[in-house]
Amino acid sequence: MKLNKNRKLLLILIVGILCFYGFKNYAEKVKDEHSIATSISSKLYDFNTFELTVDSNLNLSDFKVVNQNSGTTIFAYGKSRKGIDNDYGHRLFELYYKDQKLYEFGHFSTNNWYTFDYNLNLNKVKNRIEPDLKIMRGKNESYNDFFYKRFEYNENGKLDRISFLTLGKEVYNVKEINE
């Protein structure tokens, strides 16, 4: 009797695991379509990706990226990690170089089932690190309310000013820090 009960439990466990992975494979194929499967899978799985590349003058392991919405580190020690939830609204990120915040950047996601592939390329131009973020979602791009916020420090490492930049990196607002 006990052997039969253990077999049933094992069978239920195996079927459950197979269903979970089968649903994940199906959900990945329809991840950007509005359906019940996508609504459920966007809460269960993290299909968003984040890649960081740097030019030859920079060391990839000196950078860290934090998802501001959840507080999760999504890039550290030269490797990408999971941690970008599918949420409706602003998706905000912080870029750190040697533990000093350089940039905040983000965009507005118009649907909570959309997944994005974030590709951040960093170049050193005139002693300043310049980001170039590409946001891809299948065949479409999403730059709704896109922004960069640059943190500038003085020689002593103290925050001097914050510049707000457009997608094209034009400065549209500056906040001087006077402390």
The answer to whether residue 152 is domain-embedded is: yes
At 26-47, the pLDDT tens digits run 666 666 666 676 667 666 777 8
The proportion of the chain whose per-residue pLDDT surpasses 70, expressed as a percent, equals 78
Nearest to 63 by CA among 80, 82, 84: 80
Average pLDDT on 162-172 reads 78
At 128-145, the pLDDT tens digits run 899 998 887 654 556 667
d(CA 129, CA 102): 8
Please check the confidence at residue 111 and state whether its pLDDT lies above 80.
no
Q: Which alpha helices (DSSP H) does 30-128 contain, by range?
A: 36-44
Of 89-93, 138-142, 147-151, 168-172, least confident by mean pLDDT is: 138-142
Question: Within 13 A of 92's CA, how many CA atoms are on the CB side?
Answer: 9
Q: Which tokens belong to 12?
A: 């239920």
d(CA 90, CA 157): 29
Round the average pLDDT of the chain to a whole number and report it: 82
The answer to whether residue 85 is domain-embedded is: yes
Domain count, the chain: 1
The answer to whether residue 10 is domain-embedded is: no
pTM tops 0.85: no
Please check the confidence at residue 67 and state whether its pLDDT lies above 90.
yes
The answer to whether residue 84 is domain-embedded is: yes
The answer to whether residue 141 is domain-embedded is: yes
The answer to whether residue 14 is domain-embedded is: no
147 compared with 59, residue with greater pLDDT: 59
Contact criterion met (CB below 8 Å) for 113 and 30: no
Domain of residue 70, residue span: 46-176
The answer to whether residue 79 is domain-embedded is: yes
Nearest to 164 by CA among 174, 155, 156: 174
Nearest to 65 by CA among 91, 89, 101, 90: 101
The helix/strand/coil state of 7 is: helix
The answer to whether residue 114 is domain-embedded is: yes
